[in-house]
Structure 1
């Protein structure tokens, strides 16, 4: 969209756009009034029924896992058993309240956003899409929310608890607390909470007028010039509401500062416990105010740093300080290497930012990279099925019972390992998803969950580069990761692995175990199980049609019904220019 130049052009653009904007906004809210109550009922009743129905099982199983685990020391276990009833009783209450808020938010904003999406670039027959978009798709989205919550409560929660009760390694120590440190920590927290609450709330109140005026100034400038959030049509209603509701945002910021001040105060007690020092806890109490003041200065584009005192609250010989320092040095070195690489090499195409707010929200979530992962699982699944490394029993067991480590863990682990091998061979600075798409920690969205996944993969890629695998070893790895166990070195005896280097084999086994652990954690994220089940159904039907397996009639009929509904939705989305609903391709090339 071309931004108008000059005051008169900007004024005419604003005046001519207002009727168009108001009509779309009215249409969007009309659809929200009609569709919203249905969405709220689906999400609220569906999620509440699952949460309340499984609450007794969650309560009992949580206590069982805490009592039998060896990862928690005796003192911490006694305290956990005494204080567990409070969060377990609050869990269904918070879940039901959260379901209500999610249902209201999704039922109201999804139709409005879909209405503005319908007039975007590249959409044919915009008039019909303005009336139809955001109706049936919002109801389907509400059902998917309930499905994901059900998967999390049925599978992910119990999986987390099972990990807690697993056996510890030889080099692991149980997590426990020292009773002699507790009085000091409680005293520091008792002093720090009121001090930090008063000081941080005072800083927030002092800067709230500046936040109000600066926010209004920036939003009004963007409104007149059709820049910033007003540049895209779909963002205009929310940016316009932001001008009206900006005082509420300022009040919300002050309230959030007040609530966060309690966390700072309690964290001072934690610092005192970690450092075994009363003085360090009080130092953090003072530094917390300076940290908050510096953060608000950066947020409001005021002076750099803070005029408040900021004493050291970590000992000089603290291992954690060394770890953070090493991490900063690693990031600095990686950044320099990246700049040097792009200076002398032709940069590969990176994942581009989306133009619409819906695609932008999806891009910022960890789910977006799954588009590549599921597509890769689909391609490699066909190959492994044809080679006999996956059987019909594995597929049928996963479809009917939802179990099957070979499919849900080993198949994605092999796809990621293959990506690591390709990235290492091409001397990539990140993960080479295709020939011209490279994902690094510089174009990856800034998110803690994504960093938690990307960081270990980059480390594993560097380890794979040092191993220098041959083609025969790569082919053998595909068989080993799907058919063999990788818990101990003897599991690879008589497996036909080309290399006789025992150190190299042990390193590969450790990498595979690490990848399987990463995939196991990813499989607990809501949405992963649903999408992987759709992928498995597609593989099952293709195998039946190709004559590779002879599926039972009941399973075949049920899978065909599910796949048919998925394909109908995909075809509808492709016609509307939205791409596949299950996100199997996502616009990323697969090699």
Structure 2
């Protein structure tokens, strides 16, 4: 068969596959979309309205109880609460509707195109018909479950940590009533200026974004680059060309939506500059000779002017960002005044702050990692390279599998009991049952790092042998916040070079936290280092591990998956107790017979 005939057959196959996936995907979207969409909309709206009184009560209680805010600032926030809760209701309900419609209709459609990445031809068309039907409905239930976890579990944890962190804060946030008019005017000015200008810039540049995207995708079709490198993925790329106008409309709506919060942030800028000015004014009372010039200069720079400068500069920065994203001219023709004395550098620093609670709770956990340079990647990778990328599903699965294995080991050693597992299941949030909710995943995470170090891995080595590095890690913003500090923590553990007894001591710290009674009861050869500095280093590593686990536990997907792990461990613990009782009964019976 000649090459030209093969190319024509290949083209015919691609056209036939694209048309089939387009028709079947649209049909599945029409049939399955309303059901899945209604599940998401009714479920999420029900969660929002059902928990709304509790959210109001939790928030007001936390605002009153916390010591991080002074009385005037608390009063100002209490007056702003009705508007904030109204925004939450409006955005929550509208967002639920958009997510329900988008997920219910487009998920079956996309699954029809994804089916053509299967191995055999018969499987492709079978999956094109079957995929995205019942799975979409189940996925909509999962979306509601994860959203409920955020509202019912994660949000109270944030509020509780806010109250507990106020006990360790040195200076509360203050607000003088005389500064409130400037903050309010700056916030309103930000809304009046930023929202219309953001909208105009997004609409004016949207035609260019539309045709630029189409041109790029069609260029990849002709040159067989990017997503069109492999024949099996051409239908998916064709689907991207078809839906590109929807992406453009979505980017316009996202720009308008973000401009609302960016404009309101002008009030925060005024507040921050005001506090800085008050700080320097207080400092002059003690060091008048040293700070006289700097205070005089700062007083000349009024905070309201900085707020106005921020509002104008944000429009120029948005214009500059869109120019860079669309490969237009560099910079912006709009004015960009400086609204801070010093530019804040965007470093890759990572900070997690937990808090110490009484009665066997975990102590404060903080993670601070220096910036790390990432290897520059090409802006567009081929589909073959993207397939080799480790997916977040694999990482979640390995994390939960590791927790289950380590939990079974601790149950066998009688370190974790059925009562501990039941306590976590009945607890409202993970911090109420720290040994299972925080200690077990921290203990598992520690052993994952030690496993990677012993294997000589450059990244993080998972249980199934998959190595997650800077090159193949998932391109996810949330993972970026954790991957850099994890690598730094791994290097710190490697540099410390702990002995076996010190490693056992670290295991106690991450598993039991501040529960000294449980730590003393677990005799497994651990010793506290005699050197105070080395002991502090090991305890610091333990606090960082606990801090990372606390942050990860707030993710909705985490709680749903960890619930399955705890259920499996409860069943395993009951089976172990039953087998132990059975063996004891048999031993007693044999003694009586003798």
Q: Shorter-chain TM-score: what band?
A: 0.7 to 0.9
Structure 2 CA distance for partners of 1:20 and 1:149, relative to 1, 3 Å = same
Displacement, 1:136? 1.9
In the aligned structure 1, how far is the partner of 2:162 from the partner of 2:20? Answer: 54
Residue of structure 2 equivalent to 1:216: 214
Q: Given that residues 115 and 127 in structure 2 are in contact (C-alpha distance below 8 angstroms), is that contact kept between their aligned partners in structure 1?
A: yes
Residue of structure 1 equivalent to 2:540: 510
Residue of structure 2 equivalent to 1:61: 58
Residue of structure 2 equivalent to 1:418: 447
Residue 529 of structure 2 is aligned to residue 499 of structure 1: yes
3-state SS in 2 of match to 1:390: coil
Residue of structure 2 equivalent to 1:150: 148
Structure 2 CA distance for partners of 1:187 and 1:419, relative to 1, 3 Å = same
Residue of structure 2 equivalent to 1:563: none
Residue of structure 1 equivalent to 2:506: 477
In the aligned structure 2, how far is the partner of 1:98 from the partner of 1:296? Answer: 25
TM-score, with structure 2 as normaliser = 0.74
In the aligned structure 2, how far is the partner of 1:287 from the partner of 1:254? Answer: 20
Q: Given that residues 11 and 224 in structure 1 are in contact (C-alpha distance below 8 angstroms), is that contact kept between their aligned partners in structure 2?
A: no
In the aligned structure 2, how far is the partner of 1:482 from the partner of 1:332? Answer: 26
Displacement, 1:143? 2.0
Structure 2 CA distance for partners of 1:185 and 1:445, relative to 1, 3 Å = farther
5+ residue gaps, structure 1: 340-351, 552-591
Displacement, 1:53? 2.2
Q: Given that residues 234 and 356 in structure 1 are in contact (C-alpha distance below 8 angstroms), is that contact kept between their aligned partners in structure 2?
A: no
Structure 2 CA distance for partners of 1:272 and 1:491, relative to 1, 3 Å = farther
Q: Given that residues 10 and 226 in structure 1 are in contact (C-alpha distance below 8 angstroms), is that contact kept between their aligned partners in structure 2?
A: no
RMSD of aligned residue pairs (Cα, Å): 4.3
| Partner deviation per Cα, 1:509-556 (whole Å, 9 max, x = no partner) | 3332332232122212112111111112223334444557779xxxxx
Residue of structure 1 equivalent to 2:401: 375
**Greater alpha carbon shift after TM alignment, 464-473 vs 259-268:** 259-268
In the aligned structure 2, how far is the partner of 1:84 from the partner of 1:234? Answer: 53
Displacement, 1:78? 0.7
Which residue among 527, 534, 558 is the counterpart of 1:528? 558
Structure 2 CA distance for partners of 1:169 and 1:425, relative to 1, 3 Å = farther
Q: Given that residues 232 and 356 in structure 1 are in contact (C-alpha distance below 8 angstroms), is that contact kept between their aligned partners in structure 2?
A: no
In the aligned structure 1, how far is the partner of 2:422 from the partner of 2:246? Answer: 53
Displacement, 1:51? 2.7
In the aligned structure 2, how far is the partner of 1:175 from the partner of 1:198? Answer: 32
Displacement, 1:32? 2.1
Displacement, 1:166? 2.0
3-state SS in 1 of match to 2:117: coil
Residue of structure 2 equivalent to 1:567: none
Q: Given that residues 389 and 482 in structure 1 are in contact (C-alpha distance below 8 angstroms), is that contact kept between their aligned partners in structure 2?
A: no
3-state SS in 2 of match to 1:527: helix
Which residue among 81, 89, 108 is the counterpart of 2:105? 108
In the aligned structure 2, how far is the partner of 1:62 from the partner of 1:271? Answer: 24
**Greater alpha carbon shift after TM alignment, 57-66 vs 441-450:** 441-450
Which residue among 92, 95, 99 is the counterpart of 2:92? 95
Residue of structure 1 equivalent to 2:297: none
Residue of structure 2 equivalent to 1:270: 268
Q: Given that residues 323 and 330 in structure 2 are in contact (C-alpha distance below 8 angstroms), is that contact kept between their aligned partners in structure 1?
A: yes
TM-score, with structure 1 as normaliser = 0.75
1:387-406 equivalent positions in 2, closer than 5 A: 387-399=413-425, 404-406=433-435
Displacement, 1:315? 1.0
Displacement, 1:133? 2.0
Structure 2 CA distance for partners of 1:239 and 1:172, relative to 1, 3 Å = farther
1:257-336 equivalent positions in 2, closer than 5 A: 257-258=255-256, 260-276=258-274, 277-316=303-342, 321=344, 324=346, 334-335=372-373
Residue of structure 2 equivalent to 1:555: none
**Greater alpha carbon shift after TM alignment, 9-18 vs 375-384:** 9-18
